[in-house]
Chain A
Amino acid sequence: MKIKIFYFARLKETLKFSTEDLELPDDAFANTLTILKLKAHLAKRSDVWQQMLMGKLKVRGAINHALVDDNALIVDGDEVAFFPPVTGG
């Protein structure tokens, strides 16, 4: 399965990634990939990724422009985003 991921604010700045296209093996993830699983998968990249995605920063996830919780299911073609709690207004 293929997904697109966006990173914002502190995550974008620290990870030095604003967006990426990610291909995941179907046998490992198809129909079972959640926001939490994706975070854990990405966190394996390095200590910085681990800290940013699984650390004390309360990362929020969105799928196709809608805020979702950690258990939300991601499917092929989804646009996923990770960002810190919002601070607009």
Chain B
Amino acid sequence: MPVEFGPDEFKTNERRTIVTRFWIFLFLLVPILGVGVFLWAPYAGVYLPQDVSTHGHKIDHLFTFILLLTGAVFIATEVVLVVFMWRYDRERNQDPVKFTHGSHNLEMVWTIIPAATLLFIAIYQMNAWAEVKIDRPDIPPTLKVTARQFEWRLQYPGPDGVLDTRDDIHTVNDLHIPVNEQILIHLESDDVLHSFFLPNLRIKQDAVPGSTIPVWFRATEIGAFDLVCAELCGWGHYKMKGRLTIESREDFENWLEQKRQEQEAVQ
């Protein structure tokens, strides 16, 4: 005859109460450490990297905004979970179980409030999106970027100011752009998908073979930053890195001229 065995096994005793408290404490650690990690992150230097673009602050602002909002939801829900675990523990809770099948009003409340919140986020962010991906500036392209396994080929218009002519200036993995100017890049790929990722400019765009995709931005500070390939493109994906140099118009032109001369010397 099989033995009946069940929850009764865990009936009240001292040890059990302590163990229960321990579990509740463990769940409490989640919000505490979760928040802690995010507070610590900026000090550890693993947080949004320095932003040197005109649109980046909007993205960072959105990130922070969503972080605060979801953070609040996170803390609230986790704390409620822990409090309920504490309050309604089998040992602690002397009241009879609240026999209920739910509440229509509550359901409405917790459908409508998140709905409104989410709708708000959705609408709130549209401008930033439009700025980066929809409102394309009406200027000739500053340069053409062609991704290929595993390098970035950059092509600047030569003295005639037109791309795809004989006097174009070619570089590899060495991206220079003038500061405080509207830049428009034509992004292409020769072989597979790549992704043109400038972390500090808050720019990311996949390069799709067969399409020319416009990318635009405006840099605000002089400096040197990473150009990362952010889409798996084969075994060498990890080493497909370029260098972005943001410099003054003058330096930029000097550099361009120098490159042009180097190129002519070779030919």
A and B associate in one complex: no
| A residues lining the B interface (CB < 8 Å) | none
Interface residues of B (CB under 8 A from A): none
